[in-house]
Amino acid sequence: MKTFLISSGITVILWIAEDLLCTKLKNPLWGGLIPLLALAFTIYILATGIIPFNNTSFIVFLVLNLFITEGWISGREKYKKRQKAELDKMKAQDIGD
């Protein structure tokens, strides 16, 4: 149970960090750090045999990496929408003046 709570806490912290990096920073590479590190960690775990490489472990790690990458993509979309909304608001103010 303790391991599950620690893992859940780390997951929540990484998810919040990923969301902040993707949605607040201009450069998309900052948000790509966590998915890249997750992929590298997955390759390391499977290549060194810490977790045996089989269909089940491959599918689990594939789904986790896809989930993390999807979070990066959706965060960038949020950033672009926010930027567009701010630009539209500035244009509306310019027209009104």
* pLDDT per position as a tens digit, 15-51: 888 888 888 888 888 888 889 999 999 999 989 989 8
The rounded distance, in Å, linking the Cα atoms of 78 and 70 is 12
Which pTM value belongs to this model?
Answer: 0.75
What DSSP assignment string belongs to 6-42?
HHHHHHHHHHHHHHHHHHH-S-HHHHTHHHHHHHHHH
User: Looking at residue 85, what is its pLDDT?
Assistant: 92
